[in-house]
């Protein structure tokens, strides 16, 4: 299958990217790609975010998210426990700081799956961050995936599609774009990016 990357910025030769940020519009397939990657490579560590969103059927506290009430999220912010946080389509989401810093200190690759606002915060605060944008093959396919997932009410889908227009317009802020045509291909490419060594110029092959 043809490579799905649209471009890449080589890392500086002396820096091995350790912190990979995966972003992209809601419904593009971020969770699916990450789940596939972790099925094949269970050793890949993914940060578990805190959120005020209610769990979807099958989602478990501490696995997909730490599901918290508004007051608890306020406390996480006030205590400086979040590396970044953002409000997205009516709910708040944030990355627990300590777990990420512990992994980075241990020299292990770290993967964050967060929205555009969070990606910008991480880019500004963590010099080792490598930003990966997951793009849909087309707008119509994005709408199909988001609607077909069947987890949100029509008005929530509308809010997420509004956010998607903004996120798609920000693609150029990212270091590399992967187009989610094939979950298997994108997972492999994402892993290659995470494990890239100094001097590697691209991810193809």
- Write each residue from 141 to 160 as x if it is in contact with ligand ADP (CB under 6 A), else as -, in one continuous string: ----x--xx-----------
> x/- binding map, residues 67-106, to ligand ADP, per CB under 6 A?
----------------------------------------
Residue 180 near which of ligand ADP, ligand 5GP, none (CB within 5-8 Å, type-dependent)? ligand ADP
Residues that bind ligand 5GP in the complex, under the rule CB under 6 A: 26, 30, 49, 53, 84-86, 88, 93-95, 113-115, 117-118
Q: How far is CA 23 from CA 28, 36, 160, 205, in A?
A: 9, 16, 14, 23
> Both tokens of residue 133?
């944008």
CA–CA separation, 49 and 93 (whole Å): 7
Tell whether 205 is in a known binding site.
Answer: no
Q: What secondary structure letter does DSSP report for 150?
A: -
| Phi and psi angles of residue 54, each rounded to the nearest 5 degrees, phi first | -80, 145
Collapsed DSSP state (helix, strand, coil) of residue 22: strand
Contacting range for ligand ADP; rule: CB under 6 A; set: 7-15, 94-102, 179-187, 190-198: 179-187
Does 27 belong to an annotated binding site?
yes
- Using CB atoms, what's the residue nearest to ligand ADP? 29
Tokens of 108: 């292990």
| Cα–Cα dist 33/158, whole Å | 23
Binding-site positions read 24-31
Known binding-site residues for ATP equal 24-31
């Amino acid at each position: 299958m043809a490579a799905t990357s649209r471009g890449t910025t080589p890392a500086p030769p002396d820096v091995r990217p350790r912190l990979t940020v995966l972003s992209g519009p809601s419904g593009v397939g971020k969770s699916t790609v990450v789940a596939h990657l972790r099925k094949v490579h269970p050793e890949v560590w993914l940060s578990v975010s805190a959120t005020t969103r209610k769990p979807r059927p099958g989602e478990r506290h501490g696995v997909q998210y730490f599901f918290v009430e508004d007051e608890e999220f306020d406390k996480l912010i006030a205590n400086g426990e979040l590396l970044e946080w953002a409000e997205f389509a009516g709910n708040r989401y944030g990355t627990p700081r300590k777990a990420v810093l512990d992994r980075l200190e241990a020299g292990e690759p770290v993967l964050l799956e967060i929205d555009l606002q969070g990606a910008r915060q991480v880019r500004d605060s963590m010099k080792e961050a490598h930003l990966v944008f997951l793009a849909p093959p087309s707008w119509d396919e994005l709408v199909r995936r988001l609607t077909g997932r069947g987890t949100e009410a029509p008005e929530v889908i509308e809010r997420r599609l509004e956010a998607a227009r903004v996120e798609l317009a920000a693609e150029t802020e990212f270091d590399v774009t992967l187009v989610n045509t094939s979950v298997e291909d994108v997972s492999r490419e994402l892993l290659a990016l995470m494990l890239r060594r100094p001097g590697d110029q691209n991810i193809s092959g």
